[in-house]
Amino acid sequence: MTIKKQLTATASLLAPLFLWASFSTPALANSNDTQLQNIAKELGVLRYVEPPNKLTQKTPQKHAQQQPVKQDPYAAKRRQIHLQNLARKKAYQARIAQLQRTKYQRAHKQRQQKQNSYGNVWNRLYQGFQIRDYNNQPLVRKFTTQFSRDPRRIQRLADRSSQYLYMVVNELNRRRMPTELALLPFVESAYRNKAYSHAGAAGMWQFIPATGRRFGLQQTRSYDARLDPYKSTKAAFDYLQKLNRQFRGDWLLSLAAYNAGEYRVHKEIAKNRSRGKRTDYWSLDLPRETKQYVPRLLAFKEIFRNPRHYRVQLRGIPNTYALTEIQVNKPVDLKKAALVAGLPADTLSSLNSGFLHGITTPRHSNRIILPRQYAGRLNQVIQRLPPAADVHNKSARKHYKKRRIRGGRYVYHKVRRGDNLYRIAKRFGTSVKKIKRLNNLRNNKIKPGKRLKIASRSRSKKRFS
């Protein structure tokens, strides 16, 4: 038994040596058998090894060499399909745009054919009426009766509007506005470009200076865009559309605001609303001029719609432009150009009344309006004429040359037909307020034949007879 015990102990001592032959030192160090590690340390087979630090230990790289990136065999095919889809989308959009253009051109052609079938501009005017009739209103009946008493006056107004009516109706149709607005210049200025009011309004659409500047109508000493029929017409329709949006599509209130101002109309609407009254045009407490403004327009509408009933013979206006325009980048004397072309002297100056001195100023406008029937002849004359003297810096007073007599500190001017305080003040380089103070005027109304006292700028000013 003793020998057996010794052999067992010896075997137990020699067991680590056999294990050392089969395991490496790192394997013993990382082994979980504590007794085996202790025996290996006692025999000197395994020395003390510090436990591995997980933070500093570097994990072996699984892929020492970078493997080649696998290429997608379908990438080129997908890109090709994407480009084809973009091309199809672009072609579809182009096809839709072409269809829309074709549809618009077809509708425009049909509209033009329909307009040409009317024969003249008056028929187009009747077809575009949108404002309801108010012939039962007393003021409308009153002005219809008053205007129809003088058929010759109505005929003169219609003849005067023949140059501009096609342009005005065309612009109204383009904006889809009521063509009754083409009759508004009959009320405002009787279709005269050089019309002036006592309040300083000017032009066919009677813009006051402040409102004209709001809508892009330039005003200088040598040029006033309010007197330009094309520019003032577009500005007037811009203003009317703005007013119509403010008053939610009510054209009567829009027209009243065009005459009295939108703030006055809004004030009267608020007053009636607070009192529980109606807020339509006929129920508002507006100034006398504004109360008569819309009925006058409606009276003209009734007369021009039934001219035979009111013994008015309207001459047909061709359904085409009566005026054309050219671009000229030099000062042109309009009267001289008309005389050289063998036409009356005021042929061009009346159409281009925005040039206050009768000479174009390209720095303000390089556009000249011509009668279409004489456009070729006038264009040749204008191109051959030498440039006229620049009148941009010329004083506005020099435009009005009259007989002068020596005087003292004041200038005396005899009011003539068509004069108003605004024009007189602008002519003499003063203000309406000073003229009213010197002449004890309570308002801006003056009658022909009245002599006005105007302060002169120097002692040797001259007096007008």
* Cα Rg of the chain, angstroms: 47
pLDDT of residue 432: 85
Same domain flag for 243 and 377: no
Collapsing DSSP to helix, strand or coil, 243 comes out as helix
pLDDT of residue 170: 93
Same domain flag for 272 and 375: no
Cα-to-chain-centroid distance, residue 139: 36
Same domain flag for 262 and 199: yes
Residue whose structure tokens are 């395991």: 23
Same domain flag for 348 and 418: no
- Does 53 reside within a domain? no
Same domain flag for 270 and 210: yes
Cα-to-chain-centroid distance, residue 351: 25
Q: How far is CA 80 from CA 74, 88, 93, 299, in A?
A: 10, 12, 20, 71
pLDDT string in tens for the chain (465-residue length): 555 555 456 556 555 555 444 444 555 555 555 666 666 666 555 555 455 554 545 555 554 556 666 777 788 888 899 999 999 999 999 999 999 988 888 886 776 666 555 568 998 999 999 999 999 999 999 999 999 999 999 999 999 999 999 999 999 999 999 999 999 999 999 999 888 887 788 999 999 999 999 999 999 888 999 999 999 999 999 999 999 999 999 999 999 999 999 999 999 999 999 999 999 999 999 999 999 999 999 999 999 999 989 988 888 888 888 999 999 999 999 999 999 999 998 999 999 999 999 999 988 888 999 999 999 999 999 999 998 887 654 443 333 333 333 344 777 888 887 788 888 888 888 888 888 888 888 788 888 888 888 886 543 333 333
Between CA 298 and CA 183 the distance in angstroms is 9
- Does 62 reside within a domain? no
pLDDT of residue 295: 95
Cβ-proximal residues to 287 (8 Å cutoff; 6+ apart), any chain: 260, 264
206 CB neighbour count, 10 Å cutoff: 24
For the chain, the first-to-last Cα distance in angstroms comes to 166
Domain holding 361, by residue range, is 323-384
Collapsing DSSP to helix, strand or coil, 404 comes out as strand
Catalytic, out of 188, 268, 302, 325:
188
- Does 411 reside within a domain? yes
Cα torsion 166, 169, 172, 176: sign: negative
Same domain flag for 147 and 295: yes
Cβ-proximal residues to 354 (8 Å cutoff; 6+ apart), any chain: 223, 224, 225, 226, 227, 228, 231, 365
What CATH number has the domain bearing residue 425? 3.10.350.10
As beta bridge partners, residue 454 has 411
pLDDT of residue 292: 93
Instruction: Please answer whether residues 204 and 212 qualify as being in contact, where contact means their C-beta atoms are separated by less than 8 angstroms.
Output: no
pLDDT of residue 431: 84
Q: Following CA atoms 336, 337, 341, 347 in sequence, which dihedral angle do they give, to the nearest 10 degrees?
A: -90
Q: How far is CA 242 from CA 129, 235, 238, 458, in A?
A: 20, 11, 6, 46
Q: How many Cα atoms occupy the beta-carbon half-sphere of 444 within 13 Å?
A: 16
Between CA 219 and CA 419 the distance in angstroms is 19
pTM exceeding 0.75: no
Between CA 457 and CA 429 the distance in angstroms is 8
Same domain flag for 230 and 294: yes
pLDDT of residue 2: 57
Same domain flag for 372 and 424: no
Q: How far is CA 64 from CA 41, 54, 56, 67, in A?
A: 36, 21, 20, 9
Cβ-proximal residues to 330 (8 Å cutoff; 6+ apart), any chain: 360, 362, 387, 388
Same domain flag for 202 and 296: yes
Collapsing DSSP to helix, strand or coil, 224 comes out as strand
Same domain flag for 167 and 286: yes
Collapsing DSSP to helix, strand or coil, 78 comes out as helix
Number of domains the chain contains: 4
pLDDT of residue 11: 53
- Does 49 reside within a domain? no
82 CB neighbour count, 10 Å cutoff: 10
pLDDT of residue 37: 64
Same domain flag for 280 and 240: yes
What CATH number has the domain bearing residue 256? 1.10.530.10
- Does 298 reside within a domain? yes
Instruction: Please answer whether residues 159 and 315 qualify as being in contact, where contact means their C-beta atoms are separated by less than 8 angstroms.
Output: yes
Between CA 137 and CA 73 the distance in angstroms is 85
Closest by CA to 213, choosing from 223, 226, 197, 200, is 226
Say whether 188 is catalytic: yes
- Does 83 reside within a domain? no
pLDDT of residue 458: 44
Instruction: Please answer whether residues 414 and 425 qualify as being in contact, where contact means their C-beta atoms are separated by less than 8 angstroms.
Output: no
- Does 110 reside within a domain? no
- Does 65 reside within a domain? no
Same domain flag for 132 and 281: yes
